[in-house]
Chains A and B, each alone.
Chain A
Amino acid sequence: MNISLNITKTFTELLSGFLPESTANIGAMVIIALIYLAIFSVAGLFLVLIERKVAAWFQLRLGPNRVGPWGLLQTMADALKLVSKELTGTVKADKFLYNLAPYFVIVSSLMALSVFPFTQNFQAFDINIGLFFLIAISSIGVIGILLGGWASNNKFALIGAMRSGVQTISYEISVGLSLLTMVLITGSLQLSEIVEVQKNGWLIVQGHIPAIFAFMIYMIAGTAETNRAPFDMVEAESELGAGFHTEYSGMKFAYFFLAEFINMFIIAAIAATVFFGGWLSPFGITDSIPWLGVFWFLAKTMTLVFLMMWFRWTFPRLRVDQLLTLEWKYLLPLNLLNIILMALIVWLNLTIQF
């Protein structure tokens, strides 16, 4: 197997000093999982805070500013409140599926995080089908949404869930195809290798015209996949109450909420890795100091997250038929054309390499 566990290796070596090998392996995985869980649940909360602040600035408001300095602890306080709340449920809900749904959503989005290379060798799980794994895992979340909507036994929730199904299944194609366009250049699905290829210039530069198209298509489809405005028909407040999570309360609601923001981070992180060179610094200025890669990776990701927030606070919500028209009549055919264009460019060696 050519699966290498890079930071995992360090922990495994540490533990195997005083444990048998199989136990050390499992122990290392558990430790890594706990670290990731801790980091990203806090990071998710701060993404919520950033979203609220950015939204406020777009609307000339102040945003949260009471809890902690500049309101920095607001979402932490919200999460604490949600933890302490009662978990209510409806009498007619399908108890088992109803309770299962939030975990599907949050687990699938946390699993996707494990494959990102935050910097050289800082990657929990460097799998050779990395990009494929990401695309696959990010569409599992929709099962949780469908289950939640169905099991709540509520009309709003059901409509929201069905819309989510329609949306994710359609836009999954565009996400996959636009990433495939870039795989034509890299020739590998392994994320660490994709970053390696970009040492000769970020893929958006290497692939020039088709890469820019692919990036635009990816951003649109990615926004749709996270169910964010302008594609938030899943939880269109004015029509559906809260959509699929109408019947959820307390921490189960918080899981859905957190998953939405972690998914946004994931979509932006994929774009940063595939199009903008992941942890590579611009023009290689700090490539000699590998740990600075974390900074560059996060900077690129946050810029793209900001772009998605900008979309959200600018564009009005689409209708369901407009949503499907956009995907099937515009994005998909353009995407296919774009793949052919990219294939031609790679075949004729017209990529820009430094």
Chain B
Amino acid sequence: MVKPNNTILEIMSYFGDIFKGIKTLLTGMSVTGKYFMTSHKGAITQQYPDNRDTLKMFDRFRGEVVMPHNEINEHRCTGCQKCELACPNGSIEIIWDRQVDPETGKKKKMIDKHIYHLGMCTMCGLCIEACPTDAILWAQNYENSVYNRSALTKVLNQPGSKLMPGVED
């Protein structure tokens, strides 16, 4: 047996659904309507080649991996190879050897070349997270196209650079 007021409840919920539907549709339209009205104040479009001189990429933009050096050509990379291991597609190669440390006279692992293949990098950022000494960072440059693929293979540590003292402590 169906109670008589069940039908009434069903009809109520039928019309309730309609009103709820209309209300949510209007909410959505008011949101987009507000965007439409404010759009003249500033579009997010960058008219790229025109504003090339003034265009600044935002901080979180991932352009390429770089290794910052200070004024006296020192970097923070110890050659630990953690970034090389972390990279899922093998975009980083560390070439290192053991050399005698002039201060302590002991043999020690030292970086020779930090090779980074920008052409293979997927900008995942795992290498930067893996680096224990924050030796590598994201740069915000965005004009990375070149005519020859070999130009995308970069050596991140500058020639003649050496490890910043104190990083390993």
B32 and A310: CB pair below 8 A?
A: yes
A283 at the interface (CB under 8 A from B): no
B43 and A60: CB pair below 8 A?
A: yes
Q: Smallest CB-CB separation from A311: which chain B residue? A: B29
Measured CB to CB, the closest approach of chain A to B58, in angstroms, equals: 16
A contact residues around B44 at 8 Å (CB): 60-61
Measured CB to CB, the closest approach of chain A to B124, in angstroms, equals: 26
Task: Give CA–CA (A45, B2) in the complex, Å.
Answer: 58
Q: 18 pairs across A/B with beta carbons < 8 Å?
A: A54-B36, A57-B35, A57-B36, A57-B39, A58-B39, A60-B39, A60-B45, A61-B45, A62-B43, A310-B29, A310-B36, A313-B32, A314-B25, A314-B29, A314-B32, A315-B25, A315-B28, A330-B18
Task: Give CA–CA (A61, B43) in the complex, Å.
Answer: 5
Known: A57-B39, A313-B32, A314-B32. A62 touches B45 (CB 8 A): yes
Q: Smallest CB-CB separation from A307: which chain B residue? A: B29
Interface flags, A18-39, vs B, CB<8A=1, else 0: 0000000000000000000000
Task: Give CA–CA (A61, B32) in the complex, Å.
Answer: 13
Besides A56-B45, A58-B36, A314-B29, 19 other A-B contacts (C-beta < 8 A): A56-B43, A57-B39, A58-B32, A59-B35, A60-B35, A60-B42, A60-B43, A60-B44, A61-B43, A61-B44, A61-B45, A62-B45, A310-B29, A310-B32, A310-B36, A311-B29, A314-B25, A314-B31, A315-B28
Interface flags, A163-188, vs B, CB<8A=1, else 0: 00000000000000000000000000
B150 at the interface (CB under 8 A from A): no
* Residues of B participating in the A interface, judged by any CB pair closer than 8 Å: 18, 25, 28-29, 31-33, 35-36, 38-40, 42-45, 47
Task: Give CA–CA (A58, B33) in the complex, Å.
Answer: 7
Measured CB to CB, the closest approach of chain B to A255, in angstroms, equals: 30
Measured CB to CB, the closest approach of chain A to B144, in angstroms, equals: 24
Measured CB to CB, the closest approach of chain B to A183, in angstroms, equals: 25
Q: Smallest CB-CB separation from B17: which chain A residue? A: A330
Interface flags, A55-88, vs B, CB<8A=1, else 0: 0111111100000000000000000000000000
A contact residues around B43 at 8 Å (CB): 56, 60-62
B28 and A314: CB pair below 8 A?
A: yes
B contact residues around A56 at 8 Å (CB): 39, 43, 45
Give 8 closest A-B pairs by Cβ, nearest first. Answer: A57-B39, A314-B32, A62-B45, A62-B43, A314-B28, A61-B45, A60-B44, A58-B36
The interface centre, meaning the residue of B28, B35, B36, B44 with most chain A CB atoms within 10 A of its CB, is B36
Measured CB to CB, the closest approach of chain B to A270, in angstroms, equals: 22
Task: Give CA–CA (A315, B31) in the complex, Å.
Answer: 11
Task: Give CA–CA (A57, B40) in the complex, Å.
Answer: 8
Measured CB to CB, the closest approach of chain A to B39, in angstroms, equals: 4
A contact residues around B36 at 8 Å (CB): 54, 57-58, 310
B contact residues around A60 at 8 Å (CB): 35, 38-39, 42-45
Q: Smallest CB-CB separation from A66: which chain B residue? A: B47
Q: Which residues of A (306-337) have their CB < 8 Å from a CB of B? A: 310-311, 313-315, 330, 334
Q: Smallest CB-CB separation from A216: which chain B residue? A: B22
Task: Give CA–CA (A61, B46) in the complex, Å.
Answer: 9
B contact residues around A54 at 8 Å (CB): 36
